[in-house]
Amino acid sequence: MFHGQKDLIGIKQLSRQQIEEILDVAKTMKYIINQPTKRTVYLQGKSIVTLFCENSTRTKLSFESAVKYMGGMAGSLSTSTSSTQKGESLLDTVKTINQMGTNCVIIRHSMSGTPEFIGKNVDACIINAGDGMNEHPTQALLDMFTIMEEKGKIEGLKVAIVGDIYHSRVARSDIYALTKLGAKVKISAPATLLPPYIEKLGVDVCETVDDAIKDADVVMALRIQNERQKNGLFPSTDEYSKFFGLNDERIKLAKPDAILMHPGPVNRGVELTPELADSERAVVLEQVTNGVAVRMAVLNCFLGGTYEHTN
Amino acid sequence: MNILIKNGTLANDNQTDLYIENGIIVKMGQNLDFTCDVLIDAKNKLVAPGLVDMHCHLRDPGQEYKEDIVTGTKSAVMGGFTSVACMPNTTPVADNKIVISYIVNKAKEKAYANVYPIGAISKGLCGQQLAEMGDMKEAGAVAVSDDGKPVENANFMKNALLYANGFGLPVISHCEDMSLKNDGSMNEGYTSTYMGLRGISRASEEVMVSRECILAETYNVPVHIAHVSTKGSVEIVRQAKKRGVKVTCETCPHYFTLTEEMVEGFNTNAKMNPPLRTKEDVEAIVEGLKDGTIDAIATDHAPHAIDEKNCEFDMALNGIVGLETAFGLSYTYLVKTGILSTAELIEKLSTNPSRILKINKGELKEGAVADISVFDLDNQYTVKTEEFMSKSKNSPYDGFELYGKADTVIVKGKIVVEKGELK
């Protein structure tokens, strides 16, 4: 339980205070990751299962590393191996996992709302590792952590989010987190990749990418999935990269010390030029390390880990 | 059996007694004095023609784990409906006289209410080949519809409208342009963005409502639009009616009582097709009911088993049960609020659907078959889904406080509901 909440469903459900506490705990966790010996006992005796019903490399490995560094016991199940293939419902699968004494199930699923649905039906703590187009809360937390590290604050920063907002759970979670922490968010995307009424989430919708990036402290690029093109949402990746992709010229509109973020995996040459992806301002790899730290913090907070945080 | 209903109030506020003999309303008037087997005191109660639901799913044959003709009609009479028209998306599809006969015969033997099957427009609901409408009409079908699956090909729909009209069969169109549906599972709007769900555009419904109106106008044939849910659809039908197009339409209680916010928390009992829309749409539906653009209120009673709703939101099946809440919701939200008179409500729930389906119900008059519903309008009650007679409990209205409960229901002169209890 973390301030009365059993599950981490989304940033939507977190208060600013909860977000800040997780980010604070994550500082210690990052220190641990950077030690030659990473083993702690904060989650000793806790059993954690990752249940991934959608492809993932970094998020799954990141969570599993987090569990190991904290001395917890990790199990893993993915749809190809679980019995959902035999016609068992997901709820029955999770109830089965729950019944084995599991303290926490980390779920990724292609359908929005699945972690919330499962959380209402089992005792174990449910952590959302990305659900459909809804939320990816640990990604947003690691993004906030990265911004804090680089900029020392979030309040008042100008943040641009560029790319496929419509299908992106990362964009939604980042928008909720950034607005809760007081950043000014501008977004830009082809009109077919903007969800309706997105401005009601407290962001400015810009007509061009240039408008969004201008004077930004942080620029976040989102992954463009090729199937979007096949579905007729934009004409070609060439045209996309010309009008919406980030390159050395375009990034000059941002503040000189602006950082560039991307949740990965990067489509080089589409949303980012290869030069930009490897540039000084890109913090893409730092985001990966921070992902482990933040997930350790999340597990400690929600599972009653023994690391005691003091302000 | 002879029944005398005393001191009831008609929908037009007039007081009357009704005397029923051998299933027929023999006499109506004040201070009737007949010897009778059963005397019903309807003082301070509404005596209405039995309600007619022109759009429900009884799931029989094929999906009896959700509902069957017996439980579905028990649910109907508990809600004051004495006649129901059931959609053909059964297993097998009611696209031929054999399935229609099965429904008619089973209903004759076991149903609590009058059951009027609706046949399919196309074989297998596939939109490719016309179903044998003449045969189905002979077997007892009162209308045709591919409900649940829109007829995508406009030329095919044109032919269906022409052919069905040749047999005097109303065509009920489920309007949904699948190419605009976007794999959506709720209304496209702020809530879908906030929840990360794919949205179903209002245009998906309105494009096809427009098409049906244009076809009906061009070929001068009638068409009935099922479950209208958007402001735009109401306006399209309103304009078409002004031009004299033979279009009629229905809405459902959920489209004038609930909005898309009901989906928050991934509430699968608020998942239906068409989806719950916005406040603006609800207001337009209410306006359409008021000015007569919307002719009828139907339930779209869509029973589903618990596992079909207690699951991932995208996997949950569409629809809610509605027979046992439709009158209470309509009365509470439309009459109690002063939007419609009781008489107007009874037109929408009985007279008009009966007229559209040409089934000769929906009127209390001497010589008519005694399908009568007596409603208690004064006492508030709480909806308890677990007490529903339907096999399925998928309703977003659990705990709602409503007015308007069926007290006594008579079908063909037989009392099937007495003091709010199934007999």
Determine whether the interchain pair A112/B195 forms a contact, defined as Cβ–Cβ distance below 8 Å. yes
Q: What is the DSSP letter of A5?
A: B
Residue B306's pLDDT band, with cuts at 50, 70 and 90, is very high
Contact B278, B259 (CB under 8 A): yes
Q: Which residue has the tokens 């991932």?
A: B312
The minimal CB distance from A114 to the residues B190, B195, B312 is found for B312
- Residue of chain A with shortest Cα separation from B267: A117
Determine whether the interchain pair B265/A116 forms a contact, defined as Cβ–Cβ distance below 8 Å. yes
Determine whether the interchain pair B312/A116 forms a contact, defined as Cβ–Cβ distance below 8 Å. no
Catalytic-role residue among B60, B147, B300, B371: B300
Q: What is the DSSP letter of A111?
A: S
Contact B279, B264 (CB under 8 A): no
Tell me whether B347 touches chain A (CB under 8 Å). no
Tell me whether B312 touches chain A (CB under 8 Å). yes
Q: With a threshold of 0.90, tell me whether the complex ipTM lies above it.
A: yes
Say if residue B404 is exposed, middle or buried (CB neighbours under 10 Å; 0-12, 13-18, 19+).
buried
Task: Render pLDDT for A148-164 as a digit per residue (tens, 0 to 9).
Answer: 999 999 999 999 999 99
Is the pLDDT at A82 greater than 70, yes or no? no
Report the residue of A53, A54, A91, A117 to disrupt the B interface, i.e. the one with the largest count of B CBs within 10 Å.
Answer: A117
- Within 10 Å of residue B267's Cβ, how many Cβ atoms? 15
Q: Which residue has the tokens 């020392």?
A: A152
**Chain B residues touching A203 at Cβ < 8 A:** none
Task: Give the pLDDT confidence score for residue B342 in this predicted structure.
Answer: 98
Q: What is the DSSP letter of A268?
A: B
Residue B422's pLDDT band, with cuts at 50, 70 and 90, is very high
Task: Give the pLDDT confidence score for residue B165 in this predicted structure.
Answer: 98
Q: Which of B63, B111, B108, B51 is nearest to B87 (CA)?
A: B63
Q: Which of A289, A311, A293, A309 is nearest to A2 (CA)?
A: A309
Peptide bond into B274 cis (omega under 30): yes
**Residue A266: how many CA atoms within 13 Å on its side-chain side?**
24
Tell me whether B192 touches chain A (CB under 8 Å). yes
**Chain B residues touching A109 at Cβ < 8 A:** 312
Q: Which residue has the tokens 């730290």?
A: A293
Is the pLDDT at A311 greater than 80, yes or no? no
Task: Render pLDDT for A239-283 as a digit per residue (tens, 0 to 9).
Answer: 999 999 999 999 999 999 999 999 988 999 999 999 999 999 999
Tokens for B148, please give them.
């649940």
Tokens for A193, please give them.
């990749």
* Greatest CA separation for chain B: 66
- Within 10 Å of residue A12's Cβ, how many Cβ atoms? 17
Residue A213's pLDDT band, with cuts at 50, 70 and 90, is very high
Contact A122, A90 (CB under 8 A): no
Task: Render pLDDT for B86-111 as a digit per residue (tens, 0 to 9).
Answer: 999 999 999 999 999 999 999 999 99
Contact B398, B66 (CB under 8 A): no
How many residues make up chain B in this entry? 423
Q: Is B259 helix (H, G, I), strand (E, B) or coil?
A: coil
- Within 10 Å of residue B14's Cβ, how many Cβ atoms? 11
Q: Is B41 a catalytic residue?
A: no
Q: Are strands B2-10 and B15-21 parallel, antiparallel or unpaired?
A: antiparallel
The minimal CB distance from A117 to the residues B195, B197, B312 is found for B312
Question: What contacts B242, CB < 8 A, 6 or more positions away?
Answer: none
Average pLDDT, chain B: 97
User: Between B40 and A230, whose confidence is greater?
Assistant: B40
Fold classification of B50-360 (topology level): TIM Barrel (3.20.20)
Is the pLDDT at A310 greater than 80, yes or no? no
Is the pLDDT at B376 greater than 70, yes or no? yes
Q: What is the DSSP letter of B369?
A: B
Determine whether the interchain pair B312/A197 forms a contact, defined as Cβ–Cβ distance below 8 Å. no
The minimal CB distance from A116 to the residues B189, B266, B314 is found for B266
Report the alpha-carbon distance of residue B269 to residue B263 in Å, rounded: 8
**Chain A residues touching B195 at Cβ < 8 A:** 112-113, 134
How many residues make up chain A in this entry? 311
Contact B321, B303 (CB under 8 A): yes
- Residue of chain B with shortest Cα separation from A168: B196
**Chain B residues touching A87 at Cβ < 8 A:** none
Question: What is the phi/psi pair of residue B422, to 5°?
Answer: -70, 135
Contact B362, B354 (CB under 8 A): yes
Task: Give the pLDDT confidence score for residue A56 in this predicted structure.
Answer: 84
Is the pLDDT at A308 greater than 60, yes or no? yes
Is the pLDDT at A87 greater than 90, yes or no? no
Amino acid at A172: R
Contact A169, A132 (CB under 8 A): yes
Report the alpha-carbon distance of residue A220 to residue A263 in Å, rounded: 8
Tokens for B94, please give them.
């009611």
Residue range A289-303: mean pLDDT, rounded: 97
- Within 10 Å of residue B203's Cβ, how many Cβ atoms? 15
**Chain B residues touching A134 at Cβ < 8 A:** 195-197
What are the strands of the beta sheet with B171-173, ordered from one edge?
B51-56, B81-86, B114-119, B143-145, B171-173, B223-225, B247-251, B296-297
Tokens for B137, please give them.
């009409």
Residue A231's pLDDT band, with cuts at 50, 70 and 90, is confident
**Chain B residues touching A202 at Cβ < 8 A:** none
Contact B327, B404 (CB under 8 A): yes
User: Between A224 and B343, whose confidence is greater?
Assistant: B343
The minimal CB distance from A172 to the residues B188, B196, B313 is found for B196
- Residue of chain B with shortest Cα separation from A233: B182
